[in-house]
Structure 1
Amino acid sequence: MTAPSADPGRRVFEEHRRLLFSVAYRLLGSAADAEDAVQDSWLKWSAADRSHVADPKTYLTRIVSNLALEQLRSARHKRELYVGPWLPEPILTAGDTAEAVVDAESVSTALLVVLETLSPLERAVFVLREVFGFGHAEIAEAVERSETAVRQAAHRARAHVRARRPRFTADRSRQREVTERFLAATAGGDVNALMELLSPDVTLWTDGGGKVRQALRPVTGADRVAAWFAALGGVTYQGVDPADMRADLVEVNGGPGVVFRAPGRVIATLTFDFGADGRITALHNVANPDKLRAVSEGTAYDVGTR
């Protein structure tokens, strides 16, 4: 008996699934929400009349972008009421993605934090144009706006991001070296060693979401941030004794990061932003358990743009 042929619509969708997740995650800053948007995209795609779809990639991108835009608009009010700083949900990323500096930068925690300050339309236009290289006409179709409106949004978004996120050539080996030294200094409670690795105006952002005790405001200055981390080795955190806590250096959001584990669970992640001199300019600490599910599952996402 001959096996039934695979659904061609499903096959086409699966070919673009990684792209759809990559777009949705950069738009939403949440792996769980991005997965929901991808699943909803499949439902819309499977129910659509595809006989006149000339370019499935653009068509599917339009579906997932609009779904993500709807989620963004509904999420803005919730994020305004969020307890403490709101940080994106961290994800483990695949090593081959990290080899491409552009891909790594575009999924970094630091850039996602900047994208959070854009309007939903500006964010969508920036991601589709600057990260994925879609043309203005394609984006206009995807977000259902005029091409003129898209060009204006692209200009505003680009200027906003550049003002808050200066670009420089990242030395990935230097980043990893500094991260390793930072971990060693933290474990040893060595304030002086930490001070050498931190920029004078370094900022620590902590996200506990009101569910885990964290700083409700950014911690600024090398002396304060160094003291914060030097003390970690001697205090109980979330009921976990320091001797029972493990810190693993892994790739998080396209760069070197740290996953803090207690027996049977992940309790926090830490990602870094680096200056042109290789010193740490910002740290992003996520401890809200609702945002640690993707890391806890151990899935490494391929969020490349090609």
Structure 2
Amino acid sequence: MVDEFEKHRSRMFALAYRLLGSAVEAEDAVQDTYLRWSAAHHDEIRSPGAWLAKVLTNLCLNRLTSARARREQYIGPWLPEPVLTDAPFETAERRDSISMAFLVLLERLTPAERAVFVLREAFSYGYREIADVLELSEVNARQLHRRARQRIGDRRRFDAPADARRRVVERFLDAAGDGDLAGLERLLAADVVAWSDGGGKAAAARRAVSGAAHVARFVAGLAAKFGGPSLGLAHAEINGEAGVVASVDGAVTVVFVLETDGEQIFGLRAVLNPDKLAFLVGQLADTKAAR
């Protein structure tokens, strides 16, 4: 019974994280699913994977309803909890649907639209399967998916090779560390936008910062704030994108996620809210312990 559940755990977490935008809440939803699995009559379950996906998705829908209300009261820009993806957390085919930009766009959708869109776009569910999971008609599932696509609209995608992303991160770190505003501006696209999520628990910009000059000053200001001999900077793949983990005296204080085409940075997201860094800190500890 436990072994069967564990076979599906990573896929369930991947689904729950996309539905909720929170790694901690995704873990809780997976655990709640396990409790229901433990109490179920397994001889009546023909397809464990389908059964688990249905239970988990509906648990996430319940959580999304309350989460939307909390996010309306959130202080400053809301960003998803960052997750490391350079471990075998995600397949390459699904990494686009775990990007910060994608998860933020999903916030435009109703819970039902989000569930349909994630199941269809990230996990390639057929409309009949989606209808079974959400207890809808197949026609309704198609309508929800079409409406979700309209709400999200066209989005800019970047598919730069890993080595090109790493070079951009290195240039970013060098310029930020030196306070080189001109160097930062050259690296940033003219229409670059930066968002920072402090959640009222860490100092962060309350609105998005736009334009190369303004974003360069924003980055330089953060670098100056956290700079010093105790500052540690490490490159990492975060949410399938180029990322930087910054720590002071060994404690992670901010995570940067960069949208880049391998030449310039078009979007920058900084997560400073300590509550949202807890899962990534745990991932880092697990990675260190495994070495």
| TM-score, length basis structure 1 | 0.88
Matched, 1:202 2:192: yes
| Structure 2 residue identity aligned to 1:266 | V
Structure 2: give runs of 5+ residues left out of the alignment.
287-291
Structure 1: give runs of 5+ residues left out of the alignment.
1-8, 302-306
Matched, 1:282 2:272: no
Contact kept? 1:29, 1:112, Cα under 8 Å: yes
* Counterpart position of 2:258: 272
* Counterpart position of 2:248: 262
Matched, 1:137 2:140: no
- The alpha-carbon deviation at position 170 of structure 1 amounts to 3.4
Matched, 1:117 2:102: no
| TM-score, length basis structure 2 | 0.92
- The alpha-carbon deviation at position 94 of structure 1 amounts to 3.2
**Taking structure 1 as reference, are residues 216 and 131 closer, same or farther at Cα in structure 2, changes over 3 Å only?**
same
188, 208, 224: which one aligns with 2:178: 188
Distance 2:282 2:80 in 1: 17
- The alpha-carbon deviation at position 182 of structure 1 amounts to 0.7
Percentage of identical aligned residues = 45
Q: The residue matched to 2:200 in structure 1 has which SS? A: coil
**Taking structure 1 as reference, are residues 187 and 105 closer, same or farther at Cα in structure 2, changes over 3 Å only?**
same
* Counterpart position of 1:5: none
**Taking structure 1 as reference, are residues 169 and 162 closer, same or farther at Cα in structure 2, changes over 3 Å only?**
farther
* Counterpart position of 1:296: 281
Mapping for residues 1-306 of structure 1, pairs under 5 Å: 9-96=1-88, 100=92, 102-163=93-154, 165-167=155-157, 169-235=159-225, 237=226, 242-275=228-261, 278-299=263-284
Distance 2:283 2:114 in 1: 28
Contact kept? 2:84, 2:239, Cα under 8 Å: yes
| Structure 1 residue identity aligned to 2:237 | E
- Post-superposition Cα deviations, 1:133-159, rounded to whole Å, max 9, x if no partner, equal 111111111122221111011112223
The structure with higher relative contact order (CA 8 Å, sep 6+) is 1
Contact kept? 1:97, 1:103, Cα under 8 Å: no
Q: The residue matched to 1:92 in structure 2 has which SS? A: coil
* Counterpart position of 1:304: none
Contact kept? 1:249, 1:259, Cα under 8 Å: yes
User: How many residue pairs align between the two structures?
Assistant: 286
